[in-house]
């Protein structure tokens, strides 16, 4: 039986589905991934030895700094805790961000590039529910070493509560010590906002925060939400003494607050200095 001999409603449905499929196929074939602004950064993350060596190097340096910080009871990586004081006898802890700090989500972004799509909250949450992120090289060895030194591990992430269980599952399957108690997700309605300050305060209540580790300045201190590039760079200059010491920064060339602060087009390129 040919398609045209089907009853009219069924024939119409088949025709519409066929047209949708052909349009999808045409769009997919039109995607030139190399023209996407994320392509080079993602290809570097996923393929270069340099990215892997850089993250491993960063985590080895972090372990050295952790050992220094553990010896000094007056050492804290949290600016608020330092200002308030009274933390010297608390249990040492470290706080790590999740995405692009211990969890490598480059596969999610690669999928979006391949489909010619931008980030959306819905697609991101779907990816989080898959719990398929891999470990950033060097991160697991570092966390295990920190644990063996008696340090409490906390993850403060701007993933939302709705994907908390999946995030814990992902972290645990990779070998990280993750539970409901030490993975602090975002929920602005309940006082756990973007800037992570309130969640750092929750950890600081009973712990001395020895290191803060992340791929964004906002993982390390407040005041980094500015959409103004000069203000961001000014804060970074002022805080330089903390970086590489009590604050450990991972590379993320694909996305972040820096990108939202960029001027458009060629204005983001400095053609002379
Ligand atoms: Mg991150």
Rounded Cα gap, residues 37 and 27, in angstroms? 18
Question: Ligand 1 centre and the CA of 198: distance in Å?
Answer: 17
Read off the pLDDT of residues 91-146 as tens digits, 9 standing for 90 and up: 999 999 999 999 999 999 999 999 999 999 999 999 999 999 999 999 999 999 99
Task: Give, as residue ranges, everything with CB less than 5 Å from ion ligand 1.
Answer: 97, 99-100, 215
153 to 106, 145, 179, 201: CA distances (angstroms): 24, 11, 10, 15
Question: Ligand 1 centre and the CA of 215: distance in Å?
Answer: 5
Rounded Cα gap, residues 47 and 41, in angstroms? 10
Specify burial of residue 149 (Cβ count, 10 A radius: 0-12, 13-18, 19+). Answer: middle
Q: What pLDDT is stored for residue 169 in this prediction?
A: 98
Question: Ligand 1 centre and the CA of 225: distance in Å?
Answer: 14
CATH of domain 57-256: 3.40.50.1000
Q: What pLDDT is stored for residue 171 in this prediction?
A: 98
Q: What pLDDT is stored for residue 1 in this prediction?
A: 44
Question: Ligand 1 centre and the CA of 138: distance in Å?
Answer: 16
Question: Ligand 1 centre and the CA of 120: distance in Å?
Answer: 16
Question: Ligand 1 centre and the CA of 98: distance in Å?
Answer: 6
Buried b (16+ CB within 10 A) or exposed e, 234-267: eebeebeebeeebbbbbbbbbbbebeebeeeeee
Q: What pLDDT is stored for residue 42 in this prediction?
A: 97
Question: Ligand 1 centre and the CA of 250: distance in Å?
Answer: 9
Question: Ligand 1 centre and the CA of 157: distance in Å?
Answer: 7
Question: Ligand 1 centre and the CA of 162: distance in Å?
Answer: 17
Low-confidence ranges of the chain (pLDDT < 50): 1-3
Going from N- to C-terminal start, the domains of the chain cover 57-256
Question: Ligand 1 centre and the CA of 218: distance in Å?
Answer: 9
Q: What pLDDT is stored for residue 17 in this prediction?
A: 64
Helix (H) or strand (E) holding 270: none
Whether the CB-CB separation of 186 and 194 falls below 8 Å is answered with yes
Question: Ligand 1 centre and the CA of 41: distance in Å?
Answer: 15
CA dihedral 96, 246, 139, 262 (to 10 degrees): 70
Question: Ligand 1 centre and the CA of 155: distance in Å?
Answer: 11
Question: Ligand 1 centre and the CA of 27: distance in Å?
Answer: 31
Question: Ligand 1 centre and the CA of 183: distance in Å?
Answer: 14
248 to 4, 122, 164, 191, 221: CA distances (angstroms): 65, 30, 24, 26, 12
Look at residue 15 and give its three-state secondary structure.
helix
Question: Ligand 1 centre and the CA of 96: distance in Å?
Answer: 9
What sign results for the dihedral spanned by CA atoms 249, 252, 253, 259?
A: negative
Q: What pLDDT is stored for residue 139 in this prediction?
A: 98
Question: Ligand 1 centre and the CA of 34: distance in Å?
Answer: 24
Question: Ligand 1 centre and the CA of 86: distance in Å?
Answer: 29
Buried b (16+ CB within 10 A) or exposed e, 91-120: ebbbbbbbbbbbbbbbebbbebbeeeeeee
CB atoms within 10 A of CB 86: 8
pTM of the model: 0.88
Read off the pLDDT of residues 31-51 as tens digits, 9 standing for 90 and up: 899 998 899 999 999 999 999
Whether the CB-CB separation of 215 and 252 falls below 8 Å is answered with yes
């Amino acid at each position: 039986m040919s398609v045209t001999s089907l009853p009219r409603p069924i024939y119409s449905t088949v025709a519409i589905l066929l047209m949708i499929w052909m349009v999808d196929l045409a769009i997919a074939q039109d995607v030139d991934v190399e023209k996407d602004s994320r392509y080079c950064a993602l290809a570097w993350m996923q393929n270069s030895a340099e990215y892997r060596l850089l993250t491993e190097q960063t985590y080895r340096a972090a372990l050295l700094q952790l050992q220094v910080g553990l010896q000094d009871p007056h050492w804290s990586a949290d600016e608020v805790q330092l200002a308030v004081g009274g933390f010297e006898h608390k249990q040492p802890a470290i706080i790590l961000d999740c995405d692009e700090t211990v969890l490598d989500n480059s596969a999610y972004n690669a999928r979006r590039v391949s489909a010619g799509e931008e980030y959306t909250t819905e697609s991101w949450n779907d990816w989080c529910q898959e719990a398929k992120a891999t470990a950033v090289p060097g991160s697991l060895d570092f966390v295990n070493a920190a644990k063996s030194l008696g340090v409490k591990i906390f993850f403060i992430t701007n993933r939302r509560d709705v994907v908390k269980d999946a995030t814990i599952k992902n972290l645990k399957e990779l070998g990280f010590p993750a539970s409901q108690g030490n993975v602090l997700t975002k929920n602005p309605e309940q006082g756990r906002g973007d800037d992570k300050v309130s969640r750092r305060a929750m950890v600081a209540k009973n712990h001395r925060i020895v290191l803060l580790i992340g791929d964004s300045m906002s993982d390390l201190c407040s005041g980094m939400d500015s959409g103004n590039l000069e203000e961001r760079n000014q804060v970074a200059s002022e805080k330089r003494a903390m970086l590489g010491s009590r604050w450990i920064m991972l590379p993320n060339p694909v996305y972040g607050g820096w990108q939202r602060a960029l001027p458009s087009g060629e204005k983001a390129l400095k053609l002379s200095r």
